[in-house]
Structure 1
């Protein structure tokens, strides 16, 4: 008796988006997928397969913040920027999180994000040197969680289950993500902070950021975009690329996510999104700078983004180099 079997079809290997060059030798490569949208929203350029779904991780935060506004919580300025933030744990950011908790009658123990050190390594070292331990408020998503709890209190929604995907707030987040991305969410997972995480394609993610910068004034989406762009230091931190970009590229909306996801929209409607397959966030700056150059952006901030040195004996001996 003869049996036959069909080998599974392997997906195409994603292209190399960046190389790790040490002492003139390419010692590593980072692969991924990328999309650029033209000002009219059409797909202008791709690498890999940006139609496949990914977990955008914290690049979804603008949509989560818009859902909080749609649910009735009146936020603006720094508070709204912090709601869409992956903050660094800098003093001014933690001060505002604690102030917001107090304003809404909440305690730090009400937060269901896990205790963590500040995201920024400099802040984390200072935190440990001061003899402090991990806290929920220092977790980079604590601003978002504070706003989620506040909107639950406003609407009489249960606070103990605010991270359940079936919770009214999270169902609204799903709606906002699908509307902004222009596609259905094919999978819902759990993010590092415990919140539901909606998957979309990279094309959908770029489309979502484009929709926020082009949204009419006064809408939840535009309010989030405006707050993030006006107060980028609350969205990330003073030593973070998202902050640099939104300070130095007028009108740009930028947000990175864990596992090396990046989305950005320019005020004229052009947008980009990419994902590095192995999750190496060290690649984000060089790839983002090169992609913006491809889009015709000319700004000194690009050189700052692209600079990703490799050290040997405390001396610069190489770099991470984008191949986009």
Structure 2
């Protein structure tokens, strides 16, 4: 099945652009509840799976032994904007592992949050790997290595003992092999594995319910969901979709945006997982499509305040440089 229209961009009351993609909604057995587009075709999940990668950090007891806080566990699941609290939290995680920024193998880039980037520029020092949106995930892997007495050097290599543990967690969650045959390289130098969109949705249905996980992994998933719900700022940052959604819904919804228009969500109360992929890699389209889908799927559960938040996220106003409204990004067919 061809990809379908997920989102449209308007200007002057007309549709100016259209974003195509696909959506998979599954339960924790892997049954596809709703499939729109080619949901069995493989996609690279990119950063959407950070919470699954953090499962061994909690399940092994490393997080407790190192005294990691909810903020630090949330950052391990994050694609953050490089704001000061993100940078400081990543630094504390490294300190807990007895390491410094020099241990990070994610590379440095400017903060994606504009105000944070300006602050770094005004200091004249330039960004470090702590500003990388993936620094929390990498710090979490370094913590796992340190707790097990492993040399963290090369922790991004698929052959590293830490990498083998987190890859096993991905396989457990999605029921799909992760080998060199479906391996790619992510922007932060971590492996990323192409899997069916439906399998990605299944992984997050399981992450939400704990079913089809071992008892240890189910407990770890619950701990991570709780950490993210209590510290949603750490998962993304100021003005970001993920933070806005989870700040309102708490543990009722877990969501995570990834690069190239991949989005996932877990609805523990419904026992469902969602995965979205936009054809053109547009994150804005995945955001509005998820919000509109949540409005529909959770209608019996949502209060009027819940619905208001979701409606606002599914119809994002666009303004020009003078602050004047010029149109919107909205779920396709909702005009």
The alignment's TM-score, normalised by the length of structure 1, stands at 0.89
Q: 2:321 and 2:257 mapped to 1: Cα distance?
A: 31
Q: What SS does structure 2 have at the residue aligned with 1:50? A: coil
Contact 1:174 1:198 in 2 (8 A): no
1:52 paired residue among 35, 41, 44? 41
2:5 paired residue among 11, 16, 23? 16
Structure 2 residue runs of 5 or longer lacking an equivalent are none
Q: 1:53 and 1:24 mapped to 2: Cα distance?
A: 36
Q: 1:56 and 1:258 mapped to 2: Cα distance?
A: 8
Q: 2:109 and 2:29 mapped to 1: Cα distance?
A: 41
**C-alpha displacement of 1:16:** 1.5
Relative distance call for 1:312 and 1:238 in structure 2 (3 A) is closer
Q: 1:56 and 1:168 mapped to 2: Cα distance?
A: 22
**C-alpha displacement of 1:302:** 0.8
2:316 paired residue among 294, 304, 308? 308
Q: 2:165 and 2:97 mapped to 1: Cα distance?
A: 21
Residue 5 of structure 1 aligns with which residue? Answer: none
Residue 224 of structure 1 aligns with which residue? Answer: 224
Contact 2:96 2:143 in 1 (8 A): no
1:201 paired residue among 173, 196, 205? 196
Map 1:120-199 → 2, pairs under 5 A: 120-185=113-178, 187-199=182-194
Moved more, 95-104 or 57-66: 95-104
Contact 1:117 1:138 in 2 (8 A): yes
Q: What SS does structure 2 have at the residue aligned with 1:58? A: helix
4+ aligned runs moved over 4 Å, structure 1 = 38-41
Q: Deviations over 1:226-249 (max 9, x none)?
A: 212222111111321111211212
Moved more, 278-287 or 150-159: 150-159
Residue 267 of structure 2 aligns with which residue? Answer: 266
Q: Deviations over 1:244-286 (max 9, x none)?
A: 2112124211111011111111122122110111111122321
**C-alpha displacement of 1:38:** 5.1
The alignment's TM-score, normalised by the length of structure 2, stands at 0.86
Residue 3 of structure 1 aligns with which residue? Answer: none
Q: 1:112 and 1:284 mapped to 2: Cα distance?
A: 29
Contact 1:177 1:198 in 2 (8 A): no
Q: Deviations over 1:169-196 (max 9, x none)?
A: 1111121111111222361111111111
Residue 212 of structure 1 aligns with which residue? Answer: 207
Contact 1:246 1:252 in 2 (8 A): yes
Q: What SS does structure 2 have at the residue aligned with 1:161? A: coil
1:281 paired residue among 256, 263, 283? 283
The structure in which a higher percent of residues are helix is 2
Structure of higher CA gyration radius: 1
Contact 1:20 1:319 in 2 (8 A): yes
Structure 1 residue runs of 5 or longer lacking an equivalent are 1-11
Q: Deviations over 1:24-65 (max 9, x none)?
A: 232221111101235876322121111111111110101111
Moved more, 106-115 or 181-190: 181-190
Q: 1:140 and 1:191 mapped to 2: Cα distance?
A: 12
Relative distance call for 1:313 and 1:235 in structure 2 (3 A) is closer
RMSD: 2.1
Q: What SS does structure 1 have at the residue aligned with 2:286? A: helix
